Amino acid sequence: MQQQIKAVIENIERVMIGKREVAELSIVALLSGGHVLLEDVPGVGKTMMVRSLAKSVGADFKRIQFTPDLLPSDVVGVSIYNPKTLQFEFRPGPIVGNIILADEINRTSPKTQSSLLEAMEEASVTIDGETLAIAKPFFVMATQNPIEYEGTYPLPEAQLDRFLLKIRMGYPDAEQELEVLRRAENKKPIEEIEAVMTLEALRDLQRQVGQVHVEENVKDYIVRMARATREHMQVYLGVSPRASIALMKAAQAYAFMNNRDFVKPDDVQYLAPFVFSHRLILAPEARYEGVTAEQIMNEIVGQVFVPIQRHV
């Protein structure tokens, strides 16, 4: 694994016990210019994961606590009249930063949720016809509690499609939870970690990720997997071409993390459920039967023919 990336993961592991896969997947999204949706019950460390990642790369960290009364202007910013200059001045909101924690994103209204769309897709915000670019790296990690919890709003399909990956944290096992207690007994681990990478180094890594080679047979594998979601009997709406691009970008970042300049079919196979599952809209009968998108994706991954690897 790349030394700088390994240092970031080790830094996160000083705070997050037993969450190496979540840390690796978060870095995959960060390197490929995507965003992450973390879903799980309260108290399993979703917020701490984002904070530890931001501190590890020395990023400008902003937190937006989503509530039912939050307005779009509270997210993107607002123009305020300055009586001295007799002009309106734009005051950027907390979305203008490097690493943004959108905490409990599904507790606010769809109107406010949609205010993130332009920022996440275009890395810019528009207020009163004026567009302000957001400096790179720009990375949104949103957390949400399961929609079964009272007072939550399911994210619109267009919003979900902007997230490169959807990850579930999960509960720690008994030994991991015991270690959490030991570390938290007399100190706060998040306060003890320091940056192990500069923003300029991160930008350089992002540029290098774009140079990772993807063979034609691997691209074809991605397309066939995407088409399989559209043809599945239990899927009402399969993934879009944007999802295919997202899977390719994620695979490039994952290959780069593992010191390779080319993507293997195994990379695509591993990442597909994280990239595609939250983009599927299941047929009503599938939802009635309790079938999950993750189950369907695992089925598709097992059925789609894997191309022969040419690199040694």
Neighbours of 209 (CB within 10 A): 21
- Report pLDDT for 85: 82
Domain 3-203 shares a fold with domain 210-303: no
Each residue's pLDDT tens digit, 127-151: 777 778 888 899 999 988 776 566 6
CB 255 within 8 Å of CB 271: no
Q: Which residue has the tokens 């009968």?
A: 285
Encoding tokens for residue 267? 């990379």
CATH architecture for the domain at 3-203: 3-Layer(aba) Sandwich (3.40)
- Report pLDDT for 311: 54
User: Model's pTM, two decimal places?
Assistant: 0.90
- Report pLDDT for 173: 87
Q: Kindly list the domain boundaries of the chain, sorted by start residue.
A: 3-203, 210-303
- Report pLDDT for 291: 93
CB 281 within 8 Å of CB 236: yes
259: left (phi over 0), alpha (psi -120 to 50) or beta: left
- Domain 210-303: give its CATH code: 1.10.8.80
The tens place of each residue's pLDDT in the chain, 312 residues long, gives 688 899 999 999 988 988 999 999 999 999 999 999 998 777 778 888 888 999 999 888 899 998 888 988 888 888 888 888 878 777 888 998 899 999 888 888 888 887 787 788 888 887 777 778 888 899 999 988 776 566 677 787 878 888 999 998 888 889 988 988 888 888 888 888 889 999 999 999 999 999 999 999 999 999 999 999 999 999 999 999 999 999 999 999 999 999 999 999 999 999 999 999 999 999 999 999 999 999 999 999 999 999 876 654
Q: Which residue has the tokens 């295919």?
A: 244
How distant is the alpha carbon of residue 236 from its chain centre?
A: 24
